[in-house]
Structure 1
């Protein structure tokens, strides 16, 4: 007959062995899981380190480029040099134009730095289209003043309305009036003759008179020519 005590011991031993096996299995599983997590963390750390190194290299490259650009001449200087070259080229063309027209030989003291001056120089030497003669001198600017101002005012008010200046009608008329005082469209700003036969160029000159003689008108034309010649000679 089996001994109950021994059978109990065997059952206890088997149970202990089973528990030990389960504990070992559980420990093994936990260790495997931990190793897996550690391996994943290591991979993430390596990726983060790689990205940090790439950013560091990028920042270093940007810093070096900034230092290099700071050492170079600024772009506005380059533009200024380009403008100087263009101005010099333009001046040379004007000088060539004067030489081809024979102005330097006929009037060596004259200089021109722009197209208007060059045309004035042609006028002085008798080759230009702007030779002042007695026909160019307006004896009656007052007869043309009203119509000229009306046309000027109408055009400027239309322009200011198109620009949406926000001015009232009277304000726009005031602006047009002030502008007309200095406008070349103002008959009194054009070459006129007064009762003394003198040249009147200033704005709002006195009204012309029919008493200016032909000789006086010729004197006015000659005076204008001398003024232009003096201006070009002093440039």
Structure 2
């Protein structure tokens, strides 16, 4: 038999009764909770447990993360597609369109300008070019006044007379005061061409340079007498 306390109560029996009461209380609490959960679950949108709420929040976060990931993947794919797609050439506006007539007109204008430029360059080369023998002769010995192929002009009036005797001038096309135009034209010609001929033909005296320039000027269209003659020939065609 169990031992009795001083009060006469059996200690083991007392412990057993306490355990039964505790177990019964736990069972009642558990049953009440289950009944309560069942009630709220049956209500549909009613209150849920903390565990269920936490689970729902986690699932919602997962769905949002998946949605953002899919959206980012879609944007990257669209950007790659744009970069890979060749760009279409921009269409010219109506205001920028050029008609065939305008193209032909511009082409003709360019050809005329090119032709004029070639003629000018050819004329310059013709005026400045001498043979190697002539250049060597001018460098090796001074130019003599008695050379038959050079018109020695001591004055502008003598130059005009010399041009006429050589067939390079026409009385009909010379104005009443040719000496004024001829003198000014030659001085301008000499001022422009003298530095050039000094570079292309070094070693000559100043007199030789001027003789050479005068020889070029006799044939140059910049000579007013020659220009007048060319103009007359053009009008007679």
TM-score range (shorter-chain normalised) is: 0.3 to 0.5
Larger RCO, structures 1/2 (Cα 8 Å, 6+ apart):
1
CA radius of gyration, larger in: 2
Report the TM-score, using the length of structure 2 for normalisation. Answer: 0.35
